[in-house]
């Protein structure tokens, strides 16, 4: 199988931009908007979005299973993107640009449809990328293009509302601008990707029953180890992501600096990707990822010591941890594509969709766990900005949860990844086994 060219990789990566631009407003801006601007009770908004996220958690592995099982002539990966992109665009429009009289039923309906369509796009999209290249280094290039698009989309989601606000617009105008970007950009970019990116040749060769498939999945020890490291690292990343605005506003006393600092962080994430690609090529993907996490650990250790007014020091931490972000978003996805081949060799079936569905589920559980841990602990320690409560012990707990606990969690993830038992040579041996047994799909 020949390696995808740079134009093909660019076309494949384009849908990642609007998909990522949707993530920040849906998870961060929509709850506040429906409570503040639409007038729904905050508890009602919370219950509705909890139902949506539970539905989302169930749909991830189901979407992955379906994307593996159905084999239309158009392509089992490309078809999902072609069908789901317009549905994501339409439902995103209704969520981000609601009528003033929208109620809880409106939010539940359109947010649920958005969640299902989004999953139907995202999971097969990841599986498509995992199969575009069969080589150790090639998979890192695929992940680098896609995840760079993800970071660019996140940057746009930060910048567009800020620009709208500078021009005198409000929160509704900012969400409307993002709805236009997603509504027009996603179908267009999805069409470019589908038209320009080939459907990978499937290597499934024998039927696979549920019992044998489950045994192979649970017996994939490198995948289990990678998933554990990824979950722990995602939990570590979810804590500062959840608490960033509180940390900047309450610990540093610089609420207005939050937006520029986030832009700086994600911009450095894009700029750092070439270095991590180079380092992974010189050593290995798992060792380069470990060095990236170690850089984040060293920087975050100092964040615990920061207090009011230390915005310049925190800006430097944002630069360095932003550079480390490049390793976090690119290398785990590339390693995952490698360990999926262990399953292909063992079962005679290519099940990247199922694996990507479980990967997505782990991501969402990790971030949900971060929220579920952080807020009760902050409240117990005496930190509740909405009620005007900011005790010294509460601010200390904020610093420990924002930076201290993530450092400890990342050290555990590094211990799991540092001597990861699947490298370039191991992938070569597995690819040889798969090639020796490949035949037409059953």
Query: How far is residue 411 CA from its own chain's centroid?
Result: 21
DSSP run (H or E) holding 235: helix 221-246
% residues pLDDT > 70 (the chain) = 97
Query: How far is residue 58 CA from its own chain's centroid?
Result: 17
Query: How far is residue 300 CA from its own chain's centroid?
Result: 21
What's the confidence (pLDDT) of residue 1? 60
**Phi and psi of 242, rounded to 5°?**
-70, -35
Is the pLDDT confidence value at 442 over 50? no
DSSP 251-297: IS--GGGHHHHHHHHHHHHHHHHHHHHHHHHHS-HHHHHHHHHHHHH
Domain boundaries, the chain: 1-198, 215-437
Query: How far is residue 288 CA from its own chain's centroid?
Result: 19
Q: What is the mean pLDDT of residues 343-370?
A: 87
390: how many CB neighbours lie within 10 A of its CB? 14
Tokens of 256: 């207005």
What's the confidence (pLDDT) of residue 389? 65
Is the pLDDT confidence value at 166 over 90? no
Round to whole Å and give the CA distance between 180 and 198. 28
Nearest residue to 252 via CA among 379, 371, 390 = 390
Same fold, 1-198 and 215-437: yes
**Structure-derived torsion over alpha carbons of residues 223, 143, 353, 336, reported in degrees to the nearest 10:** 0
The residue with greater pLDDT, 437 or 177, is 177
DSSP run (H or E) holding 200: none
Give this prediction's pTM: 0.86
**Phi and psi of 35, rounded to 5°?**
-80, -45
Is the pLDDT confidence value at 386 over 80? no
Under DSSP, the state recorded for 101 is T
The CATH number fitting domain 1-198, selected from 3.40.50.300, 3.30.390.30, 1.20.1250.20, 3.40.50.1240: 1.20.1250.20
What's the confidence (pLDDT) of residue 439? 41
Q: What is the mean pLDDT of residues 19-47?
A: 81
CB of 23 closer than 8 Å to CB of 157: yes
CB of 45 closer than 8 Å to CB of 63: no
Query: Which long-range contacts link 40-47 to residues 24+ away (Cβ below 8 Å)?
Result: 40/103, 40/104, 40/107, 44/104, 45/104, 45/107
Place of tokens 């999926």: 340
DSSP run (H or E) holding 58: helix 42-69
Q: How many CA atoms within 13 Å lie on the side-chain side of 276?
A: 35
Model confidence at 440, in pLDDT bands (50, 70, 90)? very low
Model confidence at 254, in pLDDT bands (50, 70, 90)? confident
Cβ contacts of residue 76 below 8 Å, gap of 6+? 67, 68, 70, 124, 199, 202
**Which of 66-80, 149-163, 377-391, 398-412 has the lowest average pLDDT?**
377-391
Round to whole Å and give the CA distance between 437 and 133. 19
Is the pLDDT confidence value at 322 over 90? yes
Is the pLDDT confidence value at 210 over 80? no
Nearest residue to 125 via CA among 360, 349, 440, 361 = 360
Is the pLDDT confidence value at 385 over 80? no
Reduced to 3 states (helix: H, G, I; strand: E, B; else coil), residue 231 is: helix
Q: What is the mean pLDDT of residues 77-96?
A: 93
Nearest residue to 200 via CA among 430, 433, 438 = 438
What's the confidence (pLDDT) of residue 17? 95
Is the pLDDT confidence value at 387 over 70? no
CB of 157 closer than 8 Å to CB of 21: yes
**Which of 7-21, 57-71, 108-122, 309-323 has the lowest average pLDDT?**
57-71
Q: Which fold has domain 215-437?
A: Growth Hormone; Chain: A; (1.20.1250)
* Per-residue burial over 165-202, b = 16 or more CB atoms within 10 Å of its CB, e = otherwise: eeeeeebbebbbbbbebbbebbbebbbebbeebebbeb
What's the confidence (pLDDT) of residue 9? 95
Nearest residue to 60 via CA among 359, 339, 337, 369 = 359
Winning range, highest mean pLDDT, from 8-22, 167-181, 420-434 = 8-22
Q: What is the mean pLDDT of residues 342-364?
A: 89
Winning range, highest mean pLDDT, from 178-192, 246-260, 351-365 = 178-192
The residue with greater pLDDT, 300 or 50, is 300
CB of 50 closer than 8 Å to CB of 183: no
């Amino acid at each position: 199988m020949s390696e995808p060219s740079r134009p093909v990789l660019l076309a494949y990566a384009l849908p990642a931009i609007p998909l990522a631009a949707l993530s920040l407003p849906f998870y961060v801006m929509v709850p506040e908007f429906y409570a503040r601007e639409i007038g729904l009770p905050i508890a009602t908004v919370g219950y509705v979005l909890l139902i949506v996220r539970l539905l989302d958690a169930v749909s991830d592995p189901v979407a992955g299973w379906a994307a593996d099982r159905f084999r239309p002539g158009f392509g089992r990966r490309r078809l999902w993107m072609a069908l789901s992109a317009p549905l994501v665009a339409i439902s995103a429009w209704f969520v981000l640009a609601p009528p003033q009289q929208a109620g809880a039923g409106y939010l539940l309906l359109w947010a649920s449809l958005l969640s299902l369509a989004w999953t139907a796009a995202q999971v097969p999209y990841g599986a498509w990328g995992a199969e575009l290249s069969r080589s150790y280094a090639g998979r890192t290039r695929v992940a680098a293009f896609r995840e760079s698009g993800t970071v660019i989309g996140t940057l746009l989601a930060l910048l567009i509302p800020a620009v709208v606000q500078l021009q005198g617009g409000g929160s509704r105008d900012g969400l409307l601008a993002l709805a236009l970007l997603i509504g027009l950009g996603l179908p267009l970019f999805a069409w470019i990707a589908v038209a320009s990116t080939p459907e990978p040749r499937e290597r499934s060769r024998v039927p696979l029953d549920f019992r044998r498939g489950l045994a192979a999945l649970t017996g994939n020890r490198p995948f289990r180890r990678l998933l554990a490291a990824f979950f722990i690292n995602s939990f570590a990343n979810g804590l500062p992501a959840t608490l960033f605005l509180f940390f900047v506003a309450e610990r540093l006393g610089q609420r207005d600096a939050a937006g520029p600092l986030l832009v700086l962080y994600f911009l450095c994430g894009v700029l750092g990707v070439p270095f991590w690609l180079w380092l992974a090529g010189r050593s290995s993907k798992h060792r380069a990822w470990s060095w990236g996490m170690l850089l984040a650990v060293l920087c975050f250790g100092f964040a615990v010591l920061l207090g009011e007014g230390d915005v310049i020091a925190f800006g430097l931490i944002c630069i360095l941890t932003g550079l480390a972000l490049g390793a976090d978003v690119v290398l785990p996805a590339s390693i995952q594509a490698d360990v999926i081949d262990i399953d292909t060799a063992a079962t005679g079936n290519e099940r990247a969709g199922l694996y990507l569905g479980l990967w997505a589920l782990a991501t969402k559980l990790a971030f949900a766990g971060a929220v579920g841990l952080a807020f009760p602990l902050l409240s117990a320690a005496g930190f509740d900005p909405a009620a005007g409560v900011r005790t010294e012990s509460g601010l200390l707990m904020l610093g420990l949860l924002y930076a201290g606990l993530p450092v400890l969690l990342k050290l555990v993830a590094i211990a799991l990844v540092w001597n990861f038992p699947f490298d370039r040579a191991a992938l070569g041996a597995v690819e040889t086994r798969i090639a020796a047994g490949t035949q037409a799909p059953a």
